[in-house]
Amino acid sequence: MVKIVVRDAKEIVRAYLRGLGFGKDYDPEILMAAHPELAEKDTNITARLDELVYAAAQKVLPAQISKEKAVALYKVLYTEAGGASLWKTEPLGGAFENPQYREAMRRRVFDAVPAYCYSDMPTQVLESYKTPLTRRISLWWNVRRRRKHD
């Protein structure tokens, strides 16, 4: 298992934010000030950040997406939209209402595949003609294979 040697919470938050397109030098103070629990000792920081991202994702992504996919997709879209420079960490938590942001994110939503629309594909029957010759060949072949197998 990968061992995470924690220096401080700020470092973790900064590293996490890079997944949203923030630069190495970005100071996460604003986000941490808005969410003081991130600095608390017992907080699972990445899990909490995932919650914040998920909350933001729910506002812009279609409803039926699972949490794991929504978090990942939000990060992709935010990076593509250049969210780090445009809106900083504002969409993470709080009531951030910005039509341009909403539009930019929704426009970029993509699906790797369309929604399923199932059909049944019946398995076909390939029934062989049974003539004395084919029966004999089949018997010979099976006996031969069995002997070889044994």
Whole-number Å distance between alpha carbons of 33 and 39: 9
Q: Is 147 in the site for other proteins (CB under 8 A)?
A: no
- Which residue lies nearer to other proteins by CB, 98 or 138? 138
- Which residue lies nearer to other proteins by CB, 95 or 118? 118
**Segment 113 to 132, residues that bind other proteins, using CB under 8 A:** 113-114, 116-129
Q: Which of 133, 31, 36 is nearest to 91 (CA)?
A: 31
- The residue type found at 3 is K
Question: Maximum CA pair distance of the chain?
Answer: 87
Whole-number Å distance between alpha carbons of 68 and 45: 16
Q: Is 48 in the site for other proteins (CB under 8 A)?
A: no
The two structure tokens encoding residue 127: 């029934």
- Which residue lies nearer to other proteins by CB, 97 or 105? 105
Q: Is 34 in the site for other proteins (CB under 8 A)?
A: no
Q: Is 135 in the site for other proteins (CB under 8 A)?
A: no
**Segment 77 to 116, residues that bind other proteins, using CB under 8 A:** 79, 110-114, 116
Map tokens 């003539």 to a residue: 131
Q: Is 63 in the site for other proteins (CB under 8 A)?
A: no
Q: Is 64 in the site for other proteins (CB under 8 A)?
A: no
Let me know if 66 is exposed, middle or buried by CB neighbors in 10 A (0-12, 13-18, 19+): exposed
Cβ atoms of 32 and 38 within 8 Å: the answer is yes
The residue ranges that bind other proteins (CB under 8 A) are: 1-4, 7, 11-12, 14-16, 18-21, 24, 46, 66, 68-69, 71-73, 75-76, 79, 110-114, 116-129, 134, 141-142, 145, 148
